[in-house]
């Protein structure tokens, strides 16, 4: 008699993970009667990158460019960026001045948008250096602008996660390059990002 054991390994469906993430992203369900503390710190940190068009465009551009360059850049860039961004954030938290933060942030959209628009394919280390250089400015802005009442730990977790999710959204859009129309769309997206960056750079748009 051949007994075949049923596979009893429990597997969580993918939607479960998304549900957990969604619940974590909606702190209004978990902010009972207080506007300070860990939950508010997380929501404050999470929202911070999302309230600045300059941050959003640059983060999405990193994902777009990574997807455009393909593996391993597709994951190297989203790994390098938060690490270097945290360094910049540490500088901001410690009150160390960094000249030209807003210019650097605006320039990041311009440069990264141009990279995508013109389908520039530098060596991986060059792409990583470019992305890392701009990450410092973004991080410094997040660290320096942390609300004093926010819980520092959850604020940091919040804005790192938000930044990463923006990268992922850029990667998801960037995967359209597998189609010829998708390539044009992604490169057009790069043009839009670069234009927005110019707008910030010359103060036609304010953050």
Partner 1 sequence: MALLVLAFPATASAHTTVSGVGDFFGGVLHPLTTPAHLLVLLGLGLLAGRQTPLNLKIPLAVFIPLSAVALLLTTTGMVRTVYPPILIGISLVAGALVALGKPLPAKVTGAIFAVAALVLGLDSAAEAGSAMATAKTLLGTWCGLILAVADIAYYLSFCTKQQWQQVGIRVAGSWITAASFMILAFALRR
Neighbours of 69 (CB within 10 A): 22
Least gap, CB of 75 to partner 1 (angstroms): 4
Pick the stretch among 54-62, 77-85, 121-129, 182-190 that binds partner 1 (CB under 8 A).
77-85
Taken in order 180, 196, 130, 55, the sign of the CA dihedral is negative
Least gap, CB of 12 to partner 1 (angstroms): 6
Give phi and psi for 150, each to the nearest 5: -75, 150
Pick the stretch among 19-27, 51-59, 117-125, 186-194 that binds partner 1 (CB under 8 A).
19-27
Residue with tokens 């103060």: 203
| Residue from 85, 105, 115, 186 in contact with partner 1 (CB under 8 A) | 85
| Residue from 52, 78, 170, 189 in contact with partner 1 (CB under 8 A) | 78
Nearer to partner 1, 24 or 198 (CB): 24
| Residue from 119, 120, 124, 152 in contact with partner 1 (CB under 8 A) | 152
| DSSP output for 144-187 | HT--TTB-HHHHHHHHHHHHHHHHHHHHHHHGGGGSHHHHHHHH
Supply 15's token pair: 């939607």
Pick the stretch among 49-57, 98-106, 146-154, 199-207 that binds partner 1 (CB under 8 A).
146-154
3-state secondary structure (DSSP) of residue 37: strand
8 A C-beta contact, residue 76 and residue 129: no
| Binding status of residue 206 toward partner 1 by CB under 8 A | no
| Binding status of residue 193 toward partner 1 by CB under 8 A | no
* Separation between Cα atoms, residue 72 and residue 70, nearest integer Å: 6
- Write out the residues near partner 1 by the rule CB under 8 A: 9, 11-12, 20, 23-24, 27, 29-34, 37-39, 71, 74-75, 78-80, 82-83, 85-87, 89-91, 93-95, 143, 151-154, 156-157, 160-161, 164
């Amino acid at each position: 008699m051949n007994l075949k054991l049923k596979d009893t390994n429990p597997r969580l469906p993918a939607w479960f993970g998304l549900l957990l993430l969604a619940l974590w992203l909606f702190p209004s369900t978990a902010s009972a009667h207080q506007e300070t503390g860990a939950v508010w710190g997380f929501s404050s940190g999470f929202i911070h990158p999302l309230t600045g068009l300059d941050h959003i465009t640059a983060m999405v551009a990193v994902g777009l460019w990574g997807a455009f360059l393909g593996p391993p850049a597709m994951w190297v860039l989203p790994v390098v960026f938060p690490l270097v961004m945290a360094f910049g954030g540490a500088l901001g938290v410690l009150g160390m001045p960094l000249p030209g933060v807003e210019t650097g942030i605006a320039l990041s959209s311009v440069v990264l948008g141009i990279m995508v628009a013109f389908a520039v394919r530098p060596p991986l280390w060059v792409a990583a250096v470019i992305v890392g250089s701009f990450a410092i400015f973004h991080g410094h802005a997040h660290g320096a602008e942390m609300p004093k009442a926010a819980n520092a730990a959850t604020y940091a977790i919040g804005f790192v996660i938000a930044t990463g999710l923006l990268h992922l959204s850029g990667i998801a859009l960037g995967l359209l390059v597998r189609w010829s129309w998708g390539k044009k769309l992604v490169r057009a997206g790069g043009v839009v990002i670069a234009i927005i960056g110019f707008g910030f750079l010359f103060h036609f748009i304010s953050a």
